[in-house]
Amino acid sequence: MFPTSFLRKFLVVVAAAAVLAACGSSKTNKGGNFSTKGLRPPVASCKVKPSRLGLAEKIRDIDERNGCQVTNAWKVESLGSVRFSQPAIMNCGVADPLYTWLEDVVQPTAQRSFGESIVSIDVAASYACRPRNKRSGAKMSEHGFGNAIDIAAFTLESGRRITIAEGWWGSRDERRFLHTVHDRACGSFHTVLGPDSDRAHRDHLHLDLQNRANGSTYCR
């Protein structure tokens, strides 16, 4: 048994920490402040379990109590035959369209462009509690809902890497491949951003499923 005085001190410390955490999260977040005004949580349900599409496991839901939250959270390490450079944390709704895009768009386009398949993608970001474009004061990024993935490169069977930073403006085959997979992500993903959108996306493709009230897409 702990002495009562120790227990009392312990409880005071815990309560103080809880108050600090609550104050801290409402004002400043690790990635700077952001606004959540007008944001609609994503549809995080899914018809197919990600573990049936690749190497994936269900993890505990995330709620940082500042707007950043992932319901139906999964840690995904591969989809189909495509490995991820690092595990991606996403809500369940993201895995199926990502799998379909990789299998039905990326792989056939890689075959046409290079005569070989993609074996892995460089995941630059998945779940991240931060403002859009890491710009303090902006709206919370869809990454804060585990509703987005950033892809910086595709690696072929031969080991050749096609990076967004170089390939977007690079050789004909790399340009054609990257522009095609970017353009054809639009629709199954609601937001698709690449180097043509702004400097923040000069080195990766951002794909998300933002739940806009009017159901529109934004692809650039």
User: Contact residues for Zn ion (CB under 5 A)?
Assistant: 148, 150, 206
Nearest distance from residue 143's CB to Zn ion, in Å?
6
Report the residue number, 184 or 206, with the smaller CB distance to Zn ion.
206
Nearest distance from residue 194's CB to Zn ion, in Å?
11
122, 85 Cβ separation under 8 angstroms: yes
Nearest distance from residue 117's CB to Zn ion, in Å?
25
Q: How far apart are CA 67 and CA 165, in angstroms?
A: 31
Report the residue number, 89 or 156, with the smaller CB distance to Zn ion.
89
Report the residue number, 96 or 150, with the smaller CB distance to Zn ion.
150
Nearest distance from residue 33's CB to Zn ion, in Å?
18
Q: How far apart are CA 28 and CA 8, in angstroms?
A: 30
Give the CB-nearest residue to Zn ion: 206
Nearest distance from residue 41's CB to Zn ion, in Å?
17
Token output for 199: 């400097």
Report the residue number, 144 or 167, with the smaller CB distance to Zn ion.
144
Nearest distance from residue 21's CB to Zn ion, in Å?
27
146, 89 Cβ separation under 8 angstroms: yes
- Helices 172-183 & 107-114, crossing angle to 10 degrees? 160
Report the residue number, 123 or 156, with the smaller CB distance to Zn ion.
123
Report the residue number, 135 or 176, with the smaller CB distance to Zn ion.
135
